[in-house]
Structure 1
Amino acid sequence: MVTSSRDPERTRQRILRAARREFVAKGFAGARVDAIARAASVNKRMLYHYFGDKEALFRAILREGIATNLDLVAAAPADPADLLPFLAARVLQRVDGIRLLQWEALGHGEGKLIAEDERRKAWVEGSERLRDAQRAGHVHPDLDAEYLVLALMALTMFPLAFPQLVRMVTGTRADDPEFQRRQARFLRRLGACLRPQPPGTAVRAGGRRGAGAPPAEARLQTKEKHQ
């Protein structure tokens, strides 16, 4: 039933919630303003009063994600052994955002994206944080910060974007607590490999180092025992 509201902010939030569900389910191209209006219990005229058109509504949804991404970048730990599990845990709370990215990739290809310049800011901030971590001695200085951002995104988002491959490779579901526990352990160890290594330290096949674990590895093993 279509209703009216004298509380503009509540109405706006109701429209946004309905729009997010519609965009996640059908993508920008497949989403219908009529369906969003019905789900939000408003008429189309009221929806257009708040957001102007479908693209403006989608832009508002994306802006929520931009704010969340910037908060995530600000809160991210500098030590890569902590950073990777931190990102993976946050991505678990952002499944809708991954679905929107998948729809966008299918529909836009290499063309200009909605709110692209605004959205780029979070990734630029992420690259700068990694450079800060490199200057502070937390991350190996030879790694390209932009490509490291891409690698971190791939490592943490892939399981939720392609859960069928997770099941085929690991035998567990991406939403299974056992998979998430193993993933966090793996990411913590992988993150430790991104730290600057003492001169002469070599990693053998299988990830084992030469005689005597270096301090970084020893710290990581101690940390895992207490978790």
Structure 2
Amino acid sequence: MDTAQASDGAPARTTRERIMAAASTELARAGFAGARMETIARLAGVKKQVIYYYYPSKVELARAVLEKSNDDAAGLWAMFPTSTLSEICHAAIDQSVESSEGVAHLVWEGQEYANEHSSDFPIGPSRAANLQKIVAVVKAEQSAGRLPTNIAADYFGLLIVLLTTAPAILPQVTDIIVGRNVQDPEFAQGWHALLDHVLEALHP
């Protein structure tokens, strides 16, 4: 059940991988509340019952998608211990632009998190630890004299996350205010330049 033959001779994706890819696409498009298992099954090329063979519920499938989205950003998380805040921020901007589905998952996860009547999507330990790494980086920058010490590291860490993801989270606002699509290379160039100016202005 978990294998398929690719017509071009390349390694075929397993049934589980096809389900995960389809679920990622559908959740990014419709959010958790609007995502339909029938659509995921159609996109994956399987019967709906096959999805439940691997994932007992829509919630379990959505949790798996969130965890995979975190794993897909492993390269970014791995930078944190050895890179400067500037290097991490520029990589995070590129990640948010290149991984539109990953950003979309953050949006619907946030909606579910804020809704007390929603399904339970606890942030796993590995994801929480990754997000907390930004605070350690800010503190390291303060110790190195590249950021003022009177800035709260946790709040500034949150600001950095928002600064590097907001244009992708709100592409319509980006288009209206800047007049460019978030996927436009010229927009990315301008956003990178703004980030440099912000960090330079904060240098003690």
Give the TM bin, normalised by the shorter chain. Answer: 0.7 to 0.9
2:151 equivalent in structure 1:
143
1:54 equivalent in structure 2:
58
Among residues 29, 36, 42, which one is paired with 1:38 in the alignment? 42
Q: Distance in 2 between matches of 1:14 and 1:94?
A: 18
Distance 1:72 1:173, change over 3 A: same
Among residues 113, 116, 120, which one is paired with 2:123 in the alignment? 116
1:41-79 CA-to-partner distances (Å, cap 9, x unmatched) read 222332112122111111111111222445413214643
Among residues 51, 55, 78, which one is paired with 1:74 in the alignment? 78
Q: Distance in 2 between matches of 1:113 and 1:72?
A: 27
Q: Tell me if structure 1 keeps the 8 A contact 2:79–2:88.
A: no
**TM-score, length-scaled by structure 2:** 0.81
CA drift at 1:24: 0.9
Distance 1:122 1:147, change over 3 A: same
2:8 equivalent in structure 1:
none
CA drift at 1:113: 4.9
Distance 1:81 1:122, change over 3 A: closer
CA drift at 1:21: 0.9
Q: Distance in 2 between matches of 1:40 and 1:82?
A: 37
1:193 equivalent in structure 2:
201
Q: Tell me if structure 2 keeps the 8 A contact 1:80–1:192.
A: no
Q: Distance in 2 between matches of 1:167 and 1:43?
A: 39
The one-letter code sitting in structure 2 at the alignment partner of 1:90 is Q
1:106 and 2:111 are equivalent in the alignment: yes
Q: Tell me if structure 2 keeps the 8 A contact 1:79–1:138.
A: no
Q: Give RMSD over aligned pairs.
A: 2.5
1:141-185 CA-to-partner distances (Å, cap 9, x unmatched) read 222221112111211111112222222322322222222111111
Structure 2: stretches of 5+ with no match in the other structure: 5-11
Distance 1:144 1:78, change over 3 A: farther
Q: Tell me if structure 2 keeps the 8 A contact 1:5–1:11.
A: yes
The one-letter code sitting in structure 2 at the alignment partner of 1:151 is L
1:25 and 2:33 are equivalent in the alignment: no
The one-letter code sitting in structure 2 at the alignment partner of 1:182 is G
The one-letter code sitting in structure 2 at the alignment partner of 1:28 is F
2:100 equivalent in structure 1:
95
Indicate the SS of the match to 1:104.
Answer: helix
Distance 1:132 1:67, change over 3 A: farther
- Higher mean alpha-carbon deviation, 49-58 vs 162-171, is at 162-171
Q: Distance in 2 between matches of 1:30 and 1:6?
A: 29
Q: Distance in 2 between matches of 1:68 and 1:5?
A: 22
Q: Tell me if structure 1 keeps the 8 A contact 2:85–2:137.
A: no
Q: Tell me if structure 1 keeps the 8 A contact 2:142–2:149.
A: yes
Indicate the SS of the match to 1:193.
Answer: helix
Q: Tell which structure's C-alpha radius of gyration is larger.
A: 1
2:191 equivalent in structure 1:
183
Indicate the SS of the match to 2:46.
Answer: coil
The one-letter code sitting in structure 1 at the alignment partner of 2:106 is L
